[in-house]
Amino acid sequence: MNFPPATQFPPLILDDIKGAQKMLSGVSRVTAMEGSRHLSELVGAPVHFKCENLQRTGSFKLRGAYVRIAGLSQVERAAGVVAASAGNHAQGVALASALLGVGSTVFMPVGAPLPKVAATREYGARVRLHGHVVDETLAAAQEYARETGAVFIHPFDHPDIIAGQGTVGLEILEQCPEVRTIVVGIGGGGLAAGIAVAVKAVRPDVRIVGVQAAGAAAYPPSLAAGHPVSVGSLQTMADGIKVGRPGDVPFPLIRELVDEVRTVSEDELSSALLLCLERAKMVVEPAGASPVAALLSDPKSFRGPVVALLSGGNVDPLLMQRILTHGMSAAGRYLSLRLRLTDRPGALATMLAVLSVADANVLDVSHVRTDPRLGLTEAEVELHLETKGPEHCAEVAAALREAGYLVLN
């Protein structure tokens, strides 16, 4: 389904977002605003989390989906709606449709996490698994819309969607009226555009900073070019903001109203997710942790009070396990080493005693004695250790060298 050019839509204004807020009363939650002492100390000013990870369906997506579907005519509602998503938008459309009594079909990639597929079905949508990447899934959903007459619900490229997401901005102003900076993750741009319209209309002095994953950053080249530009290979764990091209509708709003767009690395994303879990006791998906990653990467560049938007908490447990391991490695909390030692009785126990004195927690040991690279009296050990940070990692490696072991990496 082809949408009209952005110029054919009436300009989005504050009244549209206030109307969406009334429509969402009793449907979406006014999510909590929680302070972060750790980030506040780093920034040198109050930092608050806007917790959309605690929203119904686990993300902000319900807001826009409900406003979009509620605005359909009776004829359009009778035809049903269709969407394509790997997770958050799928669940938002499914629940919004169920609340409004509209039939919904959601196309999801074949490899979509099973918990997200199950949740989408439980909210009442008919789920169809198609394609291995979101572009293939999107094409299948659009073809279904053409064949059946169902209304395609785009995740970000429609004014009603943007108006719904903009209600987050109104809540931020109500909950933290002294806010000076809002930090928000950007994928296609619907959330950032909506927040920018709402906030700048009331408080033009508030600085809005968008954040993209460096491996899926379409906005920096698009802003430089002055129009949406597609980027090629997308490589990031943050699937919620893994979008290869800015939306035609949100792009001009972001170009006009968002003050800056930054990028963050995968290490910074995983460290941010780990911080949210350990310090804030918040389960946040990588895309939702992107504002925290930006704060961690350059804390002194933000004027406070700062509100960082935790946009979603729908993360697959298996992915969470890998991300936490990655985050602990990035924070210097894991250390992997290979070393050589003499192959004799008690040699491994002696080496482990050195690690005990160095206060390193041994997670795994692999002991190789038959590799052709080894001498007749040599053995190689691969160690996976839990440590207390980068300085402790260096201390552990130094202790092993001082004890006479050849540390290979």
Q: Which residues are catalytic?
A: 61, 311
The dihedral sign for the CA sequence 114, 153, 258, 309: negative
Rounded to whole angstroms, how far apart are CA atoms 343 and 173?
67
- The count of C-alpha atoms lying within 13 angstroms of the C-alpha of 36, restricted to the half-sphere facing its C-beta, is 31
Angle subtended at Cα 139 by Cα 138 and Cα 142, rounded to the nearest 5 degrees: 85
Q: Quick one: tokens of 148?
A: 């059946």
3-state secondary structure the chain: CCCCCHHHCCCCCHHHHHHHHHHHCCCCCCCCEEECHHHHHHHCCCEEEEEHHHCHHHECHHHHHHHHHHCCCHHHHHHCEEEECCCHHHHHHHHHHHHHCCCEEEEECCCCCHHHHHHHHHCCCEEEECCCCHHHHHHHHHHHHHHHCCEECCCCCCHHHHHHHHHHHHHHHHHCCCCCEEEEECCCCHHHHHHHHHHHHHCCCCEEEEEEEHHHCCHHHHHHHCCCCCCCCCCCCCHHHCCCCCCCCHHHHHHHHCCEEEEECHHHHHHHHHHHHHHCCCCCCCCCCHHHHHHHHCHHHCCCCEEEEECECCCCHHHHHHHHHHHHHHCCCEEEEEEEEECCCCHHHHHHHHHHHCCCEEEEEEEECCCCCCCCCEEEEEEEEECCCHHHHHHHHHHHHHCCCEECC
- The count of C-alpha atoms lying within 13 angstroms of the C-alpha of 282, restricted to the half-sphere facing its C-beta, is 31
φ/ψ of residue 298, rounded to 5: -155, 70
Calculate the CA dihedral of residues 223, 64, 167, 211 and round it to 10 degrees.
-30
